[in-house]
Amino acid sequence: MSAAHRTERADALVLFGITGDLAKKKLIPAVYRLALHDRLPDAVVGVARSGWDLDDLRRHIRTTLDESDHDVDDEVFERIARALRYVDGDYEDEDTYVRVAEAVADQQLPVFYFAIPPDLFDDVISGLVANGLHERARVVLEKPFGRDLASAQELNALLHRHFPESSIFRIDHFLGKEAVQNLMVFRFTNTLLDPVWNRYYVDNVQVTLAEDFGVEGRGRFYDGVGALRDVVQNHLLQVVALLAMEPPATDDPEALRDEIAKVLRAIRPFDPADVVRGQFEGYREEDGVEPDSDTETFVAVRAFVDSWRWAGVPWYIRAGKSMASTVTEAVVELKRPPRPMFTSTASVPEPNRLSFRMKPDDQITVAVQAKKPGEELESRPVSLVLSEAVDDGDAPGAYDRLLDDALDGDPRLFSRQDAVEAAWEAVQPVLDAPPPSELYRVGSWGPTGADRLVPGDVWNPCGEG
C-alpha cells in the first residue's frame, strides 16, 4: 500500500452496530461533531440487525443528539441525514454485505468501524472480503483486542489475512483524550524535566484509575473481563508507555508508535506475587455475575520497565471500581535529597512529586519545598499547579479526534499489533495464575493488601493538588 493511500481522506464511514450502546453514547455524537466542523464524509452507512429502515435510523440519531449535551443545529443534522444510508441485516447473511457494497458503490475509500462484539469480527470480515470491500478500505476495531496473548495473535492473524497493518486502526479512546496527550507534550517540550526523568532521580511512579461507581448493569460483561483486562492491559499500560518512552526520532506517526512499542516490550512480565486483586463487597449480587465469581473489580501491580532509563524503578499501577472517588492520575515521585535540611526532627520534608491528573480535570501539579513563613529557617510543602480552563465544548472529544484521524488515515493515536501483543505478554502470567481476590469496602481505596506493594504501605493520595 502506498503512502498516499495511507494518508488519503476516506469518503465513506460504515458503522457496524449503529443501533448499539457504543454508537449511541460515543459514535453518533462524534459524527455530529464531524458534520459541525465540515469533516463529514460523503456517505455515512449504518449497519445493524434491528429491523429498522432509514427513517427509523434518522429518528434514532436525532433523538440521541437531542438527549446528549449537544445543542443540535438543524442544518448540521440535515447534513448528516443527507449522507446517511442504512443496511439492516444479520451479520452472518451474505446478502447484508451485498447491500453494504451497494451503499458505498460510488465511494472510493470506505472506513469500516466495528462497534460490535469481537466474536462477530470473523463473520463481518468474511462478508466484506466476499464482496471485495477490503481491497481499498480501512477497518477500525474497538478494544478488547483479544482476551489474552493467544487470542490477540489469532485476531491479528485474521485481520492480516485481508488487511495490511497500515489499514488496521485499533482504537483505544484513552489515547484520544486531551489530558493523556498532554503527557507527551509536557514531557518533551520542557527541557527542565529531561535531566531528572530517569532511574537516577525518580524513586517510583504511581498510576491510578479509580471509579466511584460499580459495574452499572454490565455485570454479565464485566464478570468475563475484570479490571486487569478492562483497563490495565490497555489504558494504563499506554499511560506507562507515554511516561517512560524515549522522544520519537521524527514527526512520523510510526516513530511515535515505535517508542510506545519499545516501552511495552521492556515491561517485565507481571509477577503474580506483585499483584493484588480485589472485589468490592456486593459485587456477586449484581445482575449477571456468577454467585461464586472471583473476577477482580480492583487490581494493583508492582511493575518494572527493564529499559536503560528505568531499570530498577518500580511502577505501581492500580485500578478499581466502587472506590472512594473517580480520578485518573499519574504521580512521578523523585528521590529525596541525600540528607534532610531546613526541617525540624518532627517534620521530614516530602519528596518532590510531579502529578498528571487526567480525570476529573486536566491538571499538572509540581509538589516542591519552600521556606515556611516565620523566623525559623524551615521548609514546608507547596504546590505549583497548572490547571486547564474548562472548555466551552468546542474542543474535540476523544472519539471525535480518533474518528477523524481514522478517516484521514493517521495512525498516530491507535495501537499497533506489536504493542498490543507486548501488553498482553506483560499481563499474561497473572491471567495464567491469578492470586485470589480480596474483598474491599465500597467507597474505600481497595483492599488493604494492596498497601504492601508500595513503600511505607501508603499510596500517594489521589486527587489532591
Residues of each annotated binding site for NADP(+)? 49, 143
Residue 34 and residue 10 in contact, taking contact as beta carbons nearer than 8 Å: no
Give the residue ranges of the annotated binding site.
49, 143, 173, 177, 211, 230, 321
Distance CA 274, CA 302 (A): 5
Q: Is 162 a catalytic residue?
A: no
Binding residues for substrate: 173, 177, 211, 230, 321
Asked if 297 contacts 215 with a C-beta cutoff of 8 angstroms, the reply is yes
Picking from 277, 298, 276, 261, the residue whose alpha carbon sits closest to that of residue 416 is 261
Q: Which helix (H) or strand (E) holds 219?
A: helix 219-223
Preceding peptide of 337 cis, ω within 30°? no
The bridge status of strand 138-142 relative to strand 110-114 is parallel
φ/ψ of 277, rounded to 5, equals -105, 145
Query: Could you tell me where the DSSP H helices lie in 108-176?
Result: 121-130, 149-160
337 close to 201: Cβ distance less than 8 angstroms: no
Residue type, 424: W
Q: How many C-beta neighbours within 10 Å does residue 377 have?
A: 10
Question: E strands of 211-313, at which residues?
Answer: 275-280, 298-304
Q: What are the C-alpha distances in Å from 16 to residues 13, 63, 100, 151?
A: 10, 19, 10, 22
Annotated active-site residue in 134, 160, 162, 235? 235
Edge-first strand listing for the sheet containing 138-142: 84-88, 43-48, 12-16, 110-114, 138-142, 168-171
Consecutive H or E run containing 31: helix 28-36
The number of helices, as runs of H, and strands, as runs of E, in the chain is: 15, 15
Residue 363: beta bridge partners?
357, 387
Which are the catalytic amino acids? Answer: 235
